[in-house]
Each structure stands twice: as structure tokens, then as C-alpha cells.
Amino acid sequence: MNKQIDIITAKGDKLKVSLSSCYESVTDTIIQSRHIPFDIIEISIEGNPTNGPVTIDTFRKIAKWMVDCIDKEPDTILFYFCDCNTPIPNIRPSKDLLPAQYRNNLFSRLFQRNVTLSSDMWVDETLVFGEENPYIFHILHRESHSTLISDIARELESTLNIIAEQK
């Protein structure tokens, strides 16, 4: 899958949203052992809303577009790597919440508020690497893929180790 859309906020700022297949090696290894088809799709949202904060209506548009893209793709698992450095636009930095944690929470709320958009049962999953300054992946998957997620986490870690050894 490789899809992209530009969404314009009510204040006229442009957001670029894309969905693309990724981690094929992770997918292939698990499919071979578990015989359950699935496809990991990476979500990317780029924006620099200078004219005002992104409203819930805009987030709803983003969620609706994503759900439209994946609703007829039963094998899809969505991955979002939460940026841990870039500050959140229009939000005062919080001592208690790191940017990655904020983005992760935002994704949870965004999809939970749009439950009626999809006919499937979806689960929010957070994959956290490290403790102090964690790297966070937000994962959205159907109930039917629940048994795969710990395998994906393990395989992702092992794939990252292999990539590091090759470099």
C-alpha cells in the first residue's frame, strides 16, 4: 500500500498524511511461522500548523481517510513511529509528557473518538523501547491480529539487531 493525501486545516495549513508498507522482513518471517496474513503499514503525518492549532475536526478528517483506506484491507496493521524530538506545534512543552508520549496519547484518542467509522473491532497497542527517553511505536490492529503483536515486537527487535550488525 502506498497512499497519500493533503489535508487543509480550517486555518489553511497543509498536513501531508501517508500510508505505506514497511518492515517487510518482519512480516515475511512471522507469516512463514504463523500462517496468518498481515501487512504492516506505516502512518506518517507531516505538518507545520502556523495559523492555529489543529482542531478535532481536522483529526477526524485524518482518521476518516485512514479508516476508508484500510477498511477493505483486512490484513492491515497500522504502525506509527512517534517522533520524540520535534516539539508539538501550538502546545506548551510539558515536563510530565514527552513529545512521543503526547503523540501516542493523541493517536489513541483520535481513533477511540472515531470508533463508529469502522465496522471492525480495533485495538490500540503501544510498543515502548527503553524507559527514560523511550522510543514509542503506536500500533492499531484488528482483534483478529491480537495474537501476532508480541511476535511482531520480538521480531522487530531482532530485525533491528540484525540491521545494526550489518552496518
Residue 156 CB, shortest distance to another protein, in Å, is 9
CA 78 – CA 59 distance, rounded (Å): 16
Residue 150 CB, shortest distance to another protein, in Å, is 7
Residue 161 CB, shortest distance to another protein, in Å, is 5
| Residue 10 or 121 with smaller CB distance to another protein | 121
Residue 127 CB, shortest distance to another protein, in Å, is 5
| Residue 14 or 34 with smaller CB distance to another protein | 14
Residues in contact with another protein by CB under 8 A are: 14, 16, 44, 46-48, 81, 83-86, 108, 111-112, 114-115, 118, 120-131, 135, 143, 149-150, 153, 157, 160-161, 163-165
Separation of CA 72 from chain center:
18
Of 143, 20, 139, residue with least CA distance to 77: 139
Of 85, 89, 80, residue with least CA distance to 110: 80
